[in-house]
Structure 1
Amino acid sequence: MFGNYLIGLREGLEASLVVCILIAYLVKTGNQRRLPPVWAGVAIAIALSLAFGALLQFGSSTLTFQAQEALGGTLSILSVGLVTWMVFWMRRTARHLKSELQDKLDTALALGTGALVITSFFAVGREGLETSLFIWTAVQASGDGVRPLVGAVLGLATSVVLGWLFYKGTLRINLAKFFRWTGAMLVAVAAGVLAYGIHDLQEADLLPGLRNLAFDISGIIPPDSWYGTLLKGIFNFQPDPTVLQVTVWLLYLIPVMALFLAPERPRPAAQPRQPAPRPTAE
């Protein structure tokens, strides 16, 4: 539940901030009459995300076991790639998100109603599709369809409340630090999802080494114990992983976490232009 709460909170907060910035800018510039197209784009994005999640859930239930494992493993790896790209993108653009969205909104206002719908749709839809995919893979990994969904819904609800408080101006936090530390936690969660995806592909006979275990500590951390369930729910921990799972987990977690937590290099300041030399008389 906690891992999916974190996913819902972070992705939902990104979408909430985007909507708050769009609405606040329209109100500030006296374009309140242009709010309905923005809300229409948001509604379409939410509907598409829900439909995508339903398609994943009900579409995969008609497949054979081997096909389900192959699909689950492939989508797990895809979701890890999307989440990794997302956390690095937000780390780089968190400080400039407001100005970038306002520039896009200025262009959309000049183009018309359709452009406003498309702008808000793409701004929210990306987070919605990523959330659906990542939550679906987390549900498949845990084998529990209730608690992961409850955690995700609670995270999304929290993000909506925080977004409303941001809009009202009653809540101010350092968003760069918030996205930095939640991003680091998501990298750890993504490493577990990646290892689970590798195990799925091994069970589908697409990767070798299913019986080649790295270790087995089921006697120390039983999978059905409360702490075993907690570790699996948050980090997709498995007490008897294969060698390939552990190798891929380390190859992902160590370099990605190091790159993500490394201090950003300051951008070099633009060099002042030298004045052209004045012509001299012969």
Structure 2
Amino acid sequence: MFQAFVITLREGLEAFLIVAIVVAYLRKMGRGDLISAVRWGIAASILLSVVAAMAMQRVANQALWEGTLALAAMAAAIAFSTQIWGSGTHVDRNIDRDVSPFAGRGWRFGYLGMFCLALLMITREGMETVLLLNALVFQIGAPEMVATACAGMLIAAGLAWLWARYGPQLPRSLLLQVTAIFLLLFVLQLAIYGFHELTEANLFPNSELLHWATEPYGPDGRFGKHFSGLLVAVPLAWLAIQSWRRARALKVVCS
């Protein structure tokens, strides 16, 4: 029962936190007009997660599709990351360019970009949650575990909401730093997971050897299962350290 909670909490954090990071960034940059695109993306991803889960059960090579989705999500995260790092070095530039490549080429392009980003990130993890719930109810025959699994997802969503709500209140430079750290870890996780799944799909020479070599870093591996926790712990640790340093510096100035 606890394992179902941990799995959905982990998948929820990976899905919702990246969306919360985007929403907090948009609010801080004064681009609240694009947040509705994120909301529509989340709504559409709920239906798409069910459809994708049904399709995933019927494909011959699930690992290939999972690896491809992970790399697609990684590409989207990298595209967003480049803008985060660019914003950190060009803080005074035109605000309309602050969310490129998604919003820097016109409002319609930005709206579509935000919609697709949320849709991809939520669906990638959402379909795995649907598969888990389906297994609990119809295969394992343990419907009582569904509530536990849903609790993990709700807690992850709650943590993401807190960041989306209160993250924009941070100083701009600190918000960009925390966001960049999260995205760096997120991209690294997706790269490892995507490569691991593609080796399982026998896409590379010596795939079996590569698969076993990366197994400890996979989502259920010895080290990989802790990666979702690092997505939360490392940025929060940086936030705490920098907040303490800022408070200390302010105290020195005031004294």
CA-based RMSD of the aligned residues comes to 4.5
Structure 1 residue 178 displacement after superposition: 0.5
Alignment of 1:1-282 (within 5 A): 1-2=9-10, 5-19=13-27, 21-23=30-32, 41-63=37-59, 66-93=60-87, 102=96, 118=108, 121-122=111-112, 124-135=114-125, 139=128, 154-166=155-167, 169=169, 171-172=170-171, 174-202=174-202, 206-212=203-209, 231-235=223-227
Residues matched between the structures, number: 196
Distance 1:201 1:153 in 2: 32
Distance 1:98 1:41 in 2: 25
Distance 1:130 1:9 in 2: 13
Of the two, which has the highest radius of gyration?
Answer: 1
Structure 1 residue 74 displacement after superposition: 2.5
Q: Which amino acid aligns with 1:46?
A: I
Q: What is the aligned-residue identity percentage?
A: 11
Equivalent residues of 2:12, 2:152 under 8 A apart = yes
TM-score by length of 1: 0.50
**Unpaired runs of at least 5, structure 1:** 24-34, 105-114, 237-282
**Cα deviation 1:116-135 (Å, max 9, x = unaligned):** 8x578436414312312542
Equivalent residues of 1:6, 1:152 under 8 A apart = no
3-state DSSP of counterpart to 1:62? coil
Structure 1 residue 151 displacement after superposition: 6.0
**Unpaired runs of at least 5, structure 2:** 1-8, 99-105, 134-145, 229-255
Q: Which amino acid aligns with 1:233?
A: K
